[in-house]
A and B are shown apart, each in its own frame.
Chain A
Amino acid sequence: MFWQQVFNGLSAGGIYALIAVGFSLIYSIMRYINLAHGSLIMIGAYIGYAVVTATNFPLIPALLAAAAGTAIVSVIVERLAFRPIRVRGVSTLYILVSSMVVSILLQNLVMVIFGPSFRTLPQLVSDVPVVTHPINIARLDFYMMIVVVLSLVSLNFVLYRTKAGRAMRAVSFNPKAAALMGVNTDRVVSLAFALAGALAGIAGIFLGIKYSVYPQLGELILKGFVASVFGGLGSVAGAVVGGLALGVIEVFLIAYGSSSFSPVMIYALLVLILLLRPRGILGRIVEDKV
């Protein structure tokens, strides 16, 4: 049972990590929290659902379609709802509120188009487990973990091995200086939103397969947000560590503690971590800008 629970934890944690990374990416560059990220995940799930039901695509093309579609929505959201506020240079609090409004708007939009009911994606992954002994590894979870690892490795490549990634990091440290280096900060921001959107799309389609597709699917983002704070808000590596840690801790609290106290315990632990180490596990100290 021990290893089964470890796998359960990593499998849940992988999804948290995917959500948290998208969150952290935006926070690290923009220094604001995009509350619409959850709705983007939900949009990803619906795009996946629509594509698969309309075309019978297998998993990989469906994933790509959801990632691309959500990336586009994410970029549009930034253009329409965040950029005008950012350009005006007023408090990021307005962006926070704007992202909340966008989130509700997207939810309602989907409700109007698809209705409030639960949708089930056609079976994309066979039911036959990868292995059953010594632990049971469902094929979906197995594929999901591969995709999560691949997405995170690609993100890492983009961030640390390409000029676009360098530009993104430069903007995250100092947007003005980056602009002086010839970096088009608007374009970098769009790219960051596209990447975060693509991750949201991938997370969305897996959440959709695992937990069905419904307008409030994005509410699961809460765990991803907790994971990113856990690991250190604004740190991409921290988001991964935070996501996996949250998944495993949560599972072990249930497995070896009690399922009735685990929700309380997990949040108590979060508060404790924030008290002892405000920057999270791997976060950098968030310096206040003048």
Chain B
Amino acid sequence: MKRKRLIFVTLMLLVSMLFLTACGQTAGQGQGGAKSITIGELADLTGPTAVWGQAQDNELKILVDKWNAENQVKLNHKVYDYKANTQEAVSSFNKLADQEKVAVVFGTNNSNANLAFGPLAEAKKVPVLSHAIDPHSTTPAADKLNQYSFLTVASNIIQGKTMAAYTLDKLNLKKVGVLYDQGNSFATTMEQPFEEYFTGHGGTITAKEVFTSNDVDYSSQLTKIISTNPDAILLPNYYKQIALAAQQARKLGFKGVFLGHTGWPSQALLEMAGKDVEGSYFVNYGSFEDPQLQNLQKEYTDKYKKAPEINAAMIGESFAVFTDAVKKIGADKLAAMSLEQQRQALRDAFEKTRNVQGVMNNITIDPKTHRPETAKMAIITIKDAKFKFVETYQVK
């Protein structure tokens, strides 16, 4: 018995040493004799949304490598996998801030994770550039601004407004019913601005119904919505909920259009309900069918031999904001600063982001909300059970 335990302990030690060495190697990348700035990244490299996290991390590596090839001051890139888990995100954030001593944190796409470490960023005075969707990540309450958190892509407010405007002006649909998960801010923070804009510009919300996250049958809600004869039903949800709602609505005889936002672009949605969501419209941050993104797509595909997810373009926006700030401060000057000074200088520069050309958008960050107040969005439709880019569209 004793011997067995000894072997076990030895094995565990060996395994953990392997781990440590592996980590040490990644952490060592980019460290040379030259002056450098340490940047941190939180990515969901494993877990249910791993495809997104991997795309984000892959693209950031390309961008960092490019920067390091072109500049004297090197970027020292540290990445932590938060496994799409909120607790993991908090502890990873702490490690980046305290142990890795990063000047800035990139990430995440996960609103709940951002909401969780937002207060830590305030306390530790570490600026965060994220591409999450929930506007609460920068403004947790109406009168409160997180001084160190920034969004670089369209928040749900823009998405809601964009979809509402497009529905009215381009699709010419005036009557919309809504079905969404009342417990998920991913849905609620899109529904609200959609409704405000839509009803404020001559549209009518014929019915507004909700469900809870674990529900799978929405027939009753849909029956109620359909009985109000809407032209379209807005489904600002996750793909599985969208698929089920679309299937059930069709079974109940609904013939109109479905509308949505960034929960839609998923191959699984097409597999589950391709036929039922045919002819739907939704907004997304961008589309690889958009000529503007061809360059990124090519670089990415060349390096990784697979197509990127839109998250690659999203991290591109954050990186553009970051490089703009570094250039304004001056890379040499920034590298010479103490860690606290670096963090503060970057934060102040991020707040002054004006007309910075990103991968998809010309980014201006509103100092009052720490996020863009307008953005060009891609409008996507579903045709022949495939996603199809229609055009880019910007709310006036």
Contacts and interface: CB of A to CB of B under 8 A. Distances in A.
Q: Do chains A and B touch in the complex (CB under 8 A)?
A: yes
Interface-centre pick from A1, A8, A141, A222 (highest chain B CB count, 10 A): A8
Interface stretch (B68-76, B205-213, B256-264, B333-341): B205-213
Contact of A5 (B214, B220, B271): B220
B221 interface: yes
Interface string A8-29: 1101100000000000000000
20 contacts: A4-B223, A5-B220, A9-B220, A12-B217, A12-B219, A117-B268, A136-B251, A136-B252, A136-B253, A138-B251, A141-B251, A212-B240, A212-B244, A219-B214, A220-B216, A254-B209, A254-B220, A255-B223, A259-B210, A259-B221
Contact of B211 (A132, A220, A259): A259
A114 interface: no
Contacts of B252: 4, 136, 138
B321 interface: no
A260 B182 contact: yes
Interface in A230-275: 250-251, 254-255, 259-260, 263
A255 B225 CA distance: 10
Contact of B212 (A214, A220, A251, A263): A263
B224 interface: yes
B224 A1 contact: yes
Nearest to B47: A116
Q: Can you list the 3 inter-chain pairs with the closest CB atoms, starting with the nearest? A: A138-B251, A211-B216, A251-B220
B10 interface: no
A118 interface: yes
Contact of B272 (A118, A136, A251): A118
A207 B217 CA distance: 10
Interface in A169-208: 207
A212 B240 CA distance: 9
B209 A259 contact: yes
Contacts of A220: 214, 216
A8 B209 contact: no
Nearest to A117: B268
Nearest to A248: B220
A259 B244 CA distance: 17
A141 B251 CA distance: 10
B209 A118 contact: no
Contact of B244 (A8, A127, A211, A251): A211
B227 A1 contact: yes
A161 interface: no
B140 interface: no
A8 B223 contact: yes
Nearest to A209: B247
A250 B220 contact: yes
Given A8-B219, A214-B240, A251-B219, 7 more contacts: A8-B220, A12-B219, A117-B268, A118-B268, A212-B240, A251-B220, A255-B220
B251 A260 contact: no
Contacts of B253: 129, 132, 136
B212, B224, B243, B272: most-surrounded residue (chain A CB, <10 A) = B224
A211 B217 contact: yes
B221 to A, nearest CB: 5
A261 to B, nearest CB: 10
Given A11-B219, A118-B240, A211-B244, A129 B224 contact: no
